[in-house]
A and B are shown apart, each in its own frame.
Chain A
């Protein structure tokens, strides 16, 4: 009987997971440097909604990502930082890092010296279970996605617990939105919180007091919809940048939630985590944990720079000086990178 049941399930799975719909080939983002919504929409009408993926970035990128300083050289060896899973940087350059293995929020100054921490393994107030994304809430609060406790915990900039901002198991919230599977977190300058809901492939928006306000997107292929939504970042003016795992698609949404641009990351879909950050010039940095890469794009999807050979980059954030800080989960490393124009040989 059990064998029959398993055979039935297998048959259903084989039947259900048939070939995907054909993807119409489109120009690579490197060739189509605008990657505008109009182009995306045209491609979407014909196929997947975004240009087709490529295996790698072009070689003639205009920028290099250059190591500037090793803030934490090897956190695993020192036990200081074991599995960084979220990163945020405030106006003074102070770093807030969520450590999923130590179940803590750690605070470092701009040079990487540890200045405080909060949290321990547990479910009480002030305790965390596998914390993930970190976001600055406004200018003086830090929100931490407490993944296994299914909530967003609030800390001040001195890493002191302030309370629970959002409880995803709250009966009212569950009644209105169903089960929520939080995967990522971002916040804009106004303290609006954007939560990646992996259960329904949507973005849930909460105001600065933790009150649910609206939903952006949902399951689908076209711009404005998501498939395997993995990460979100918010820019200074409330624009959103999302990354989807299944199609490795990056979308930029305006402050009202309408899609403004979309492009595809190189490489193939994978199961690892992805992280995204956006700076004030709307440059977008995307980290792919499994591939060990960080790619940098301009606001329209033109590739600017790439970085390989990282050990499971799990989180990244832009610092006030325009540098990029990347946290690697493989070795607990925290590195600051400069973004420099690549010198042309003829000059």
Chain B
């Protein structure tokens, strides 16, 4: 027998034996099965249902054997260290990410069958009591040794400590290159959430971007972290750290509404509530009241205390009211605000007119001193009695000025200045080059402007008030004011540098309210202390002021002939001249209601008001009130009013208001107001007509003549009722305004306003929302007629086939600064600009953009329209679609034309009335994406024009067309072929200067072959051929660009990606559309390589290099190394 046959026989015999044993074991379950089913009694499986926001789970066994724990959830194996941590001693599992609530965690593990106790107690030895029976069961108690369990807590019942999730990322990156120094960039983001203890929830986030690192690798302090926010919630307390709001509206004198960066805590226990906050104040509170500009929605400039515009405003600190109503921030709401430049623009919801009364309350970003605020308050409510108190302290840290450095001389001047900003002026003259020279005027020296950098002194001027200075503003040069000497005490400016005054402000207020039956009492007293210059002890005697108020009211039912409810209210208040609250006490423009001029001091006053009201059972409310006012400025007035309101099928509203006052010492001292308003509405099911009329006459005291205004307004409005699905609204408003002149009112201005709105019912295939307002103002005599349009249109249509169309149009009016592009020839190669103002690095000109004061009214229309048609039902064509996009943005000086919302590219390029405009037209087709050869087509045109400069205009026209074919030759092999064509044109014109015209024509194609046999390898071969040609010439620049891309996995954790391109160029070098400082040049080699390595499941390291080699330049190499850790 050959060895092979013997081996085969042996194998067969072994197989037969094995089969026999298998059959035998299968037929004898009692024996073999039992032997196979022997299980380790110390191992098992535990199923734990995962709960939301619960990270700690306790197993029924402790003493888990190392390496035996296996966790699965949802069929997925969890990784120790990445998904969970286990305390083997106590059998406690802590998840490292929030669980998917509802899933079951299956834990397989082995443990000690008879585990020792987790803790033992050292019991001191004591001698056995004589006669002790050792068989007794309560020997412990007999010996006096207290019983204690082996473990202090039951880990299955008591909470396992805090249950917090910490997630986030730390990124460290180093950028380097052949033309740059190495730069370190870092970021840190943390989020923590969970429970600290039962009922105590913690949520916190922290974000840090590019904070300079110390030598130890940590950020310098918490202040240097960009933003941090922590919220802690407990059953009776809350606390927040970071950017927190503080809003106190109890009472009147201690009201405070601020955004703070600091800490805020609140604690309540039964009837007692306490709030405390400590923060760094972000700015100084400021309020301005203005009238609107007819037909201009903005921008309106916010100013600081001395009238400087363009000041940065603390984000979120703004409160804007229009005609007494508080507006909502948001460009889709009532107004938008540019915090950086302090500019407010109203949306088209509220048309702004010359009679719009606008109030801006805001905080100016503090640039003088670090300002701190500490506030504490408490409120106790017991039944009908409530008592509250507030203490607020706000002060500048005079030892830590922010943007200024005080010299010893400055400190002396501040100490002597008292509370006067006019006296707090430091030295403002620096010799050795500047704009000013000294001249001798009337025997004294004065400074005279000689031109930018043309003289021997740099001189600063400080505003000191009219008639207190020697200089006045003369002209604007390069956007900066030039000053001229106007004589001693004849100007508003003085030579010098204004020194900021650090101030300190405190307020204490106590209030109470109580009700007893129909009677209610509300009283409050407050004291403030405001030191406007903490450097100086002068002028400190007038720092303290007080205020108090009391309100008594009663209400009850009436019967007899007038059934209903009625009541009365008596208010009395006194506010000293020196009282300085943190928030203004009076509503904006409230002074006009008493007959005071706008801006007069109504805050400091003595006032008593009696009001009574009656609400008949049949509906409505009648309210009458009368009041007496005496202001600290010497104005005494009486005011009476009656108002009626009733809602129902017939809705009626009426108001009669009258005030008479007089100003002591004024030549024309009479002031007052006569105001009447009425409204009638019929709430029909189909139609809701409204009639409205108003008459308002205001006069105020003055020394130079009679001052006042009169307004008469009549309006009619027709709206659809509740049974009409399409909500429609149409209205007409006629208004006549006049100003007091002599003995009457003359020069009336007539304005017509029309309004139309349409809203489609919801849930239809076609939805439409339209709001349009048109206002026409005819001024007196030969004044310019003003027209303003505000509107928005939203249309959306959808077919069952999936075709959709949407269109949005917004029309509004804005103001725009006038700008001039000034070019100064400075010599050949000595400037940075060309003759048209293009930055070219080395040129013959310098550019100055001069912004002249004042705004042009600009009408704006913006449109966004899109239509999409999906088609294709077969596997090959399903997902195909055709899309049309149309986007415009038009700003026209004066009034809009009807075509502007759908303006053509030709109009954008050629219409000189447009301040700026842009239009985008695009057609896209995606054909047969499911086939082996998907086709994509796109044609696009973008045209923009910019004529915002008075003397410069630029038009750009960019047309592109692309066609792409993607084929799938096999699952591993694909290809892409693309053709493109592009035509760009630019035109620049400078008034009284040159012009620039350039057209570039480009075409070409690209072919890519992609080979990817699997996830670990991807290779691409690419060839691109492009030709360029300046318009009007036949000189071609041909570029052939080819090279490979390669992506390959390195082991299980790494990946390499690289690409190389070699360009071959024939013909002249390519050029940019507009002259630039860094022309493209001819690229020869381009390559980049990147390696990413997963250091750990949650940590990656990546490094990349990029190389560019242009003809005639040094080869440029840049790189980056980055470490990212997630936790």
Q: Do A and B bind each other?
A: yes
**Assembled-state Cα–Cα distance A209/B331 (Å):** 26
- How many of chain B's residues have a CB under 8 angstroms from any CB in A? 129
Q: Is A101 within 8 A of B930, CB to CB?
A: no
Q: Is A220 within 8 A of B1010, CB to CB?
A: yes
Mask: chain A, 279-321; 1 = CB below 8 Å from B; 0 = not: 1110100000010000000111010100000000000000011
In the complex, what residues of B have CB within 8 A of residue A129's CB? 864, 887
Q: Is A44 within 8 A of B101, CB to CB?
A: no
A37 CB, min distance to chain B CBs, angstroms: 6
In the complex, what residues of B have CB within 8 A of residue A222's CB? 971-972, 1012-1015, 1018
B918 CB, min distance to chain A CBs, angstroms: 7
Q: Which of A46, A77, A224, A236 contacts B1012 (CB 8 A)?
A: A224
Is residue B1020 contacting chain A, with contact meaning CB distance below 8 A? yes
Q: Is B205 within 8 A of A148, CB to CB?
A: no
Q: Which of A116, A158, A189, A223 contacts B169 (CB 8 A)?
A: A189
**Assembled-state Cα–Cα distance A90/B967 (Å):** 42
Interface residues of B in 921-958 (CB under 8 A from A): 926-935
Is residue B617 contacting chain A, with contact meaning CB distance below 8 A? no
Q: Is A220 within 8 A of B1100, CB to CB?
A: no
Q: Is B168 within 8 A of A228, CB to CB?
A: no
Mask: chain A, 200-228; 1 = CB below 8 Å from B; 0 = not: 00000001110001110011111111011
In the complex, what residues of A have CB within 8 A of residue B1012's CB? 220-222, 224-225
Is residue A54 contacting chain B, with contact meaning CB distance below 8 A? no
Is residue B500 contacting chain A, with contact meaning CB distance below 8 A? no
Q: How many A-B residue pairs have CB under 8 A?
A: 342
In the complex, what residues of A have CB within 8 A of residue B759's CB? 79
**Assembled-state Cα–Cα distance A299/B332 (Å):** 40
Interface residues of B in 841-875 (CB under 8 A from A): 862-864, 866, 868, 870, 875
B191 CB, min distance to chain A CBs, angstroms: 5
In the complex, what residues of A have CB within 8 A of residue B173's CB? 207
A331 CB, min distance to chain B CBs, angstroms: 7
Q: Which of B103, B868, B971, B1010 contacts A219 (CB 8 A)?
A: B1010
CB nearest neighbor in A for B931: A17
In the complex, what residues of A have CB within 8 A of residue B353's CB? none
Q: Which of A90, A191, A237 contacts B187 (CB 8 A)?
A: A191
A188 CB, min distance to chain B CBs, angstroms: 7
B660 CB, min distance to chain A CBs, angstroms: 44
In the complex, what residues of A have CB within 8 A of residue B875's CB? 20, 268-269
Is residue B1004 contacting chain A, with contact meaning CB distance below 8 A? no
**Assembled-state Cα–Cα distance A218/B1009 (Å):** 12
**Assembled-state Cα–Cα distance A296/B561 (Å):** 69
B673 CB, min distance to chain A CBs, angstroms: 37
Mask: chain B, 305-316; 1 = CB below 8 Å from A; 0 = not: 000000000011
Q: Which of B73, B808, B889 contacts A101 (CB 8 A)?
A: B808
Q: Is the interface of A mostly helix, strand, loop or mixed?
A: loop
Is residue A264 contacting chain B, with contact meaning CB distance below 8 A? no
B869 CB, min distance to chain A CBs, angstroms: 9
Interface residues of A in 97-124 (CB under 8 A from B): 101-104, 106, 116-123
Segment at the interface with A among B479-487, B674-682, B697-705, B1052-1060: B1052-1060
Q: Is B1049 within 8 A of A271, CB to CB?
A: no
Q: A76-B767, A120-B347 are in contact. Are A298 and B931 (CB under 8 A)?
A: no
Q: Which of A20, A158, A236, A259 contacts B1126 (CB 8 A)?
A: A236
**Assembled-state Cα–Cα distance A188/B76 (Å):** 23
Interface residues of A in 225-267 (CB under 8 A from B): 225, 227-228, 236-238, 245-246, 254-259
Segment at the interface with A among B115-123, B224-232, B706-714: B224-232
In the complex, what residues of B have CB within 8 A of residue A254's CB? 1094
CB nearest neighbor in A for B964: A199
Q: Is B1090 within 8 A of A120, CB to CB?
A: no
Q: Is A160 within 8 A of B971, CB to CB?
A: no
Q: Is A341 within 8 A of B966, CB to CB?
A: no
Q: Is B205 within 8 A of A91, CB to CB?
A: yes
Q: Is A77 within 8 A of B763, CB to CB?
A: yes
A60 CB, min distance to chain B CBs, angstroms: 14
In the complex, what residues of A have CB within 8 A of residue B736's CB? none
Q: Is B1054 within 8 A of A256, CB to CB?
A: yes
Q: A116-B329, A140-B226, A219-B966 are in contact. Are A79 and B1015 (CB under 8 A)?
A: no
In the complex, what residues of B have CB within 8 A of residue A127's CB? 331
- With most chain B CB atoms within 10 A of its CB, the pick from A192, A220, A279 is A220
Q: Is B103 within 8 A of A41, CB to CB?
A: no
Q: Which of A215, A227, A236, A281 contacts B99 (CB 8 A)?
A: A281
Q: Is A189 within 8 A of B934, CB to CB?
A: no
Interface residues of B in 866-895 (CB under 8 A from A): 866, 868, 870, 875-881, 885, 887, 889
**Assembled-state Cα–Cα distance A258/B1014 (Å):** 11
Q: Is B316 within 8 A of A158, CB to CB?
A: yes
CB nearest neighbor in A for B934: A17
Is residue B339 contacting chain A, with contact meaning CB distance below 8 A? yes
Q: Is A188 within 8 A of B864, CB to CB?
A: no
Q: Is B864 within 8 A of A258, CB to CB?
A: no
Q: Which of A15, A189, A270 contacts B191 (CB 8 A)?
A: A189
Q: A91-B203, A218-B1020 are in contact. Are A280 and B330 (CB under 8 A)?
A: no
Q: A129-B887, A237-B1126 are in contact. Are A224 and B971 (CB under 8 A)?
A: no
Using A256-B1100, A256-B1102, A298-B74 as known contacts, list a sample of 4 further A-B pairs with CB atoms less than 8 Å apart, ordered by residue number in A: A20-B931, A130-B864, A220-B1018, A322-B101
A-B contact pairs, 17 of them (CB 8 A): A19-B876, A77-B762, A101-B806, A120-B810, A121-B808, A138-B169, A138-B187, A140-B189, A175-B1080, A190-B170, A218-B1020, A222-B1015, A236-B167, A270-B870, A271-B879, A300-B76, A322-B98
Please list the residues of chain A having a beta carbon within 8 angstroms of any beta carbon in chain B. Answer: 13, 15-21, 33-34, 37, 40-41, 44-49, 62-63, 74, 76-77, 79, 82-83, 90-92, 101-104, 106, 116-123, 126-127, 129-130, 138-141, 148, 156, 158-160, 175, 179, 188-192, 207-209, 213-215, 218-225, 227-228, 236-238, 245-246, 254-259, 268-272, 279-281, 283, 290, 298-300, 302, 304, 320-322, 331, 339-341
